[in-house]
Structures are given as C-alpha cells and as structure tokens.
Structure 1
Amino acid sequence: MKKKTIVLKYGGNAMTDIGIKNQLLENISNLIKKSYHIIIVHGGGPFIQKALEKANIVSEFIDGQRKTSEEALIEVEKVLKGNVNGDLVKILNSKNCKAVGLSGKDGKTLIAKKRYHISKTNQSIDLGQVGDVESVDPNLIKILIDNNYTPVITCIASDIAGKDYNINADNFAGHIAGALKADEFVVLTDVDGLLNDIDKPDSLIERIHTTSLNKLYDDGIIKGGMIPKLEACKTALINGATSCRIINGTKPNQLLEIFEGKNIGTQIIK
C-alpha cells in the first residue's frame, strides 16, 4: 500500500510552547509509524526577532514585512538552521524517527529569486534578502522519504547565482507541497481554522473551494496572517497537492484526528 505524503507547515505557538511542541512532535512520530510520509517545513518568527535583538540589529518593517539586510540574514540563518531546525530534528530522533535537517539550499531543492514589495502607491520596494520561490526540485526529499527519513526543512534558499534569501514559511511550504503532489498540506495556526467572524470561534468554515476565496477577501473575512496561509494553500493545489487543511496547532491532537476521518479545521480544495 502506497504511503500518503503529508507536508506540514509548522509554526505559531506550537513552536514556542514547549509542552505543545513535544506533544505535537509525538503525534507526528506516531503518524510516521503508521506509514505516513511526513515533511515538516518551519519558520521561526519569534526566534528570529530575539536573535536580531541580541545581535543589536534593528528590524525595519515595510507594510508589515521585515526588510532583511545581509547582516540580518546571517543571524536569521544561524537561528533557523542551528537552533530551530536542530531542535526539531533532535526531538524527533529521540522519538525513534529518522529526521534530517535541511534548507532549500540542500540539493538545490528550492531556488529563490529576489522579492520586491509593491506598496499601496504601486511603488516597487527592495526588501533586501527577502526572497520568493523561483523553482522546486523535490528529488532529494523523495529520496529521503522513500528511505523512511523525515525531512525537516527551514526556509532559507539561494538564487541561481548563489545569493541567499529568507522566504516566507507559508509560501515555501505551499510550493514544496505542490511539487511533491502531497496528499495533504496541513498548515498549523493559533486558531481553529478560517472563521467567518474572528470573534466567534463557532463560525468555523469547514470546507471551501479556492474559487470561493476571492469573495472572502473582498468581504474582509480573510485578512492578516491568514492571507499568506490561504495563498500557500492555493499554490499547493495549483501545483498538484490533493487537499489542504488549516488547523489549530495549539491543539496537538487535531493533527491525528484529521487522519481518523474527523472534520477538523478548514479544508481547502481546488
């Protein structure tokens, strides 16, 4: 029986709360033992901010997006690869998994390109070492999962000239899920999914087609941090993923319940 491929975008409080992190990684290890291929893609926003402050690097934000200098990227890569990624690999390995830490640079898995921000006045603004996705080569990931390794990938990648960039973790993960034709792309957030009203937890939208998302944008229902997550889901589906789901990472058992056939979070389909 062919193993299902699951790409998990990991972040939020599930990353910073030690208790939640340990329970979630325990659940991931249980899924691996149940013959799922799991690929973890992670960011590290809170850890990045602390590292930059410690290095006395002042963060500049443009329309809510961090501008990343060459000096800042050195610190970003240190904390993402050395701390966040290494810690996840260590914990998973302690739970009898065979986790392998990677970035987009390894095996040219992901090629980056420079990203420019278009302002409200339609100006193109240089964000420094902030990148977008040029292309994905999933072969290294496939070799690893075919040999029962669990890739844990951080969102640093190089362009074709070898210049490094930090890429938004949602965007990075969506492209990885699409390239792998993932059976499920799961995005962890700090809420139960996409809500019709952010102040009403019982207003969860359980299932939605990508064709219906534009109206929710126009109505102001999709906003803030939910925008890049849903855009990542659209990217994954357009490029070949079967299904996407946004769940609450602060409730670690939701990850298991998805694969028990329960209606958890918001499912996005093409």
Structure 2
Amino acid sequence: MPSSKLLIKYGGNAMINQTLKLQIAQSLYRLKNAGHEIVLVHGGGPFINKALEKANIPSEFIEGQRQTSPEAMFEIQKTLKGEVNGDLVKVFSQQGLKAVGLSGLDNQTVLVSPKKLKLTLSDGIIDEIDLGRVGQITSVDPELILSLIEKKFLPILACIAADTEGLAYNVNADDFAGEVAASIQADYYISLTDVDGLYQNYPDPTSILRNISLGDLPNLYGKIIQGGMIPKIQSLENALKKGVKNALILNGTQPEQLLAYFEKGSTIGTTITH
C-alpha cells in the first residue's frame, strides 16, 4: 500500500496491557519505516478513574459524559499528560520511534469552549447541564503536528486542551481524534477498539461489515451502531465529512491487524469511505 498519513486513536484494553502496548509500538515502527506518517491520539479512562478514586474525588457521569470539577481536572491533567502520555512516549521511543509527547495545550493546537449537555426532559423542555471542565473543540491548528511528522517524528497527543483564557479542559478522546484527523487531512483515521469491526449481528464474526459508505451510516444508528460504538462512529463520520479520506475500525488488542491491513492489504476490520 502507498505511504499514507495515518491518525490513530488509541484506547481501551490495548492501553492497559503492557505487552499489547509494546506490540503496537513495534507495528507502528514498521509502518513508519514503510513511509507512513503517523499521529497517535490517546485517552485514558481507566487511569483517570484510578487517579480520582485515589484522590477521593467522586466521578459522576451524565449520559456517558464525566462531570469534571477543577479538582478533578487537576488530577486528570496530571494523569493523562504525566503518567499515560509519558509512559507511551517512553515505550514507543524504546522501539526506535521518534516519539514526542503533546497535548492540545502545546502551541494552542486545540482550543475549546465549555461543553454543555442538552437533555430533553419528560415534559419536552430542553435543559442544559454544565459539565464543568469538559471541552467542546472550537478550533485545531495543525501546524505543530504537521511540522513534526514532516521531520519523521511520531506525535502522541493527550486529549487536554484550553480555552482562549488558558483554562485547561478534558476533551472526549473520540471527538479530539476526529477533529485532529480532519485538521491534518489524514488519509486514514483509524479507531483501535476492543472488537474486530462493526457487526451486523455481534459477536458473529461472519457478520462484520467490511465496507460502509458515509451515506449508509444514518440508517445504522440505534440498530447496528449502539452503546459505546456511537461516539466512535460519530467521530469517524464527522472526520470524513471534514475531508478525511478513509475511516477504519480495527481491533487494538490484535496489533497485527495494523500490519495485515497496511502491509498485506488484508480485508479486515470495517472501512468507511465516501
């Protein structure tokens, strides 16, 4: 396959397991050597949960969104940037990659505004809930990222960004990855999940949808696209609409899938195209 610009959203069990982390680093090393330009975006939900529990800060979720107090944001920033991002940079660098740890804060790459959650109440009235230090992305400046990948570095981004006043916010990792993918006009936006793709009838492996067009997606929500897959697909859909060429769902717990797809052209995962 010709060399491409890849944005990889990395999370789930593949982040917790050190062996898998090492295998992903080795796969990315091979892809980089083949000429692919790679940007990695990561979340860190399990690490954040652990840090907040240790600091005795309660976590409250509203429709899957974590309400984030200033105290929680302090712990989240420390965990994502210091622990999770730092460990990824160390592991990936040890595998020969020129890994650079970043977040949306660096060079004001990602700017946000406070995210409000809209809920429709039983009487039909729409209520807006303040999620605290949760950010809605307003703009992405890709200059720093593009400069790094041009010089053969591997940027690894934590999903933290600031508003115009410099106040730090936590950003949903899928939203963050999709907006960054669009800003760098990625050839592929790859979401590494804990499953092998999008299933017509989960977990029947013969029912994986290998190829979907952007126009097919609206009819799949609530049927095939459910639960935790909804924000992932919405992120992929948004990125495609903003100029990303291909979106791809692969299983991050099987790092060999990356090489099978990009080195051997194997028909695996779910590819979404225009």
Q: TM-score, normalised by structure 1?
A: 0.96
Q: Tell me if structure 2 keeps the 8 A contact 1:181–1:241.
A: yes
Give the counterpart letter for 2:219 in structure 1: K
Which digits, 9 at most, give the CA deviation of each residue in 1:230-266, with x for residues without a partner?
Answer: 1111121111111010011111100111112111100
Which structure 2 residues correspond to residues 10-29 of structure 1 after superposition, within 5 A? 10-29=10-29
Q: What aligned pairs does 1:165-180 form with structure 2 within 5 A after superposition?
A: 165-180=169-184
1:140 aligned residue (134, 139, 144): 144
For residue 52 of structure 1, report the CA deviation from its aligned partner: 0.3
The answer for the alignment partner of 2:164 in structure 1 is 160
User: Which whole-Å CA distance do the structure 1 matches of 2:63 and 2:239 have between them?
Assistant: 25
Q: Equivalences for 1:1-270 in 2 at 5 Å?
A: 3-121=3-121, 122-218=126-222, 220-259=223-262, 260-270=264-274
Asked whether the equivalents of residues 157 and 164 of structure 1 are also in contact (C-alpha less than 8 Å), the reply is: yes
Letter in 1 for 2:158: T
Partners in 2 of 1:132 and 1:155 — Cα distance?
11
- Residues 104, 153 of structure 1: 8 Å contact kept: yes
Question: Which consecutive residues of structure 2, in runs of 5 or more, have no partner in the other structure?
Answer: none
Code of the aligned partner of 1:51: A
Shift of 1:199: 3.3
CA distance in 2, matches of 1:92, 1:30: 12
Provide the C-alpha distance between the structure 2 equivalents of 1:3 and 1:141, rounded to a whole number of angstroms. Answer: 18
Contact 2:22 2:92 survives alignment (8 Å): no
Q: Report if the CA contact (8 A) 1:63-1:119 is conserved.
A: no
Superimposed CA distance per residue, residues 50-84 of structure 1 (whole angstroms, 9 cap, x where no aligned partner) = 00000010111112221010100000010100011
How far apart are residue 104 of structure 1 and its match? 0.3
SS at match of 1:126: strand
| Aligned pairs, number | 268
Distance in 2, Cα, partners of 1:127 & 1:178: 25
CA gap of 1:114–1:85, structure 2 versus 1, over 3 A, is same
Instruction: Give secondary structure in 2 for the equivalent of 1:123.
Output: strand
Percent identical among aligned pairs is 48
Are the equivalent residues in 2 in contact too, given 1:89–1:100 (CA < 8 A)?
yes
Contact 1:59–1:66 (CA<8 Å) still a contact in 2?
A: yes
Structure 1 unmatched ranges of 5 or more: none
Q: Which range is displaced more, 254-263 or 70-79?
A: 254-263
- CA separation in 2, counterparts of 1:186 and 1:245? 5
- TM-score by length of structure 2 reads 0.95
Cα contact 2:3–2:34 (8 A) shared by 1: no
